[in-house]
Amino acid sequence: MRGLIANQEIEGVEVDSAGTGDWHVGESADPRAISAAIERGVEISGSARQVRSSDFEEFDLILAMDRSNHANLLAMEGADPGKVRLFREMAGEGEVDVPDPYFGGEDGFDEVLDILERGCVVVLEEYAN
């Protein structure tokens, strides 16, 4: 998403990433995800953080990668249901979860990147207009 925003020279859009659980807080992304992203010219940097109640005030849109995270977000204190959407639903693919590649092979990370690349174009188009 950051690459699309930069390439299209869109200003005023901030992108962040966070999980609903705390089990990876402070860690870097999975090395398989980093490797798959590098092959596509995408940089994954930073460390994991957990969603905060203040995110509902700070961000206009919060995208959940699956229905479980969507439900967790809506159950949080201060949740704004109008700001929480399923990524693939917003990308026009229906109420479909982005698969979690963590416990699978490396090809799962490529599949997820395919989904994210395809969806980010649609989400940015819808959001920016």
pLDDT number for residue 101: 93
Domain contains 27: yes
Both structure tokens of 44: 């994954």
Domain contains 5: no
Both structure tokens of 33: 């995800």
pLDDT number for residue 103: 86
Domain contains 47: yes
- Kind and range of the H or E run holding 63: strand 62-64
How many structural domains does the chain have? 1
Domain contains 1: no
- Kind and range of the H or E run holding 84: strand 84-86
Domain span holding position 87: 16-116
Domain contains 107: yes
CATH number at residue 99: 3.40.50.2300
Q: Is 129 exposed, middle or buried (0-12, 13-18, 19+ CB in 10 A)?
A: exposed
Closest Cα to residue 120, out of 40, 25, 32?
A: 40
Place of tokens 């700001």: 83
Mean pLDDT per 10-residue segment, the chain (129 residues): 89 92 92 93 91 95 96 96 95 92 88 94 84
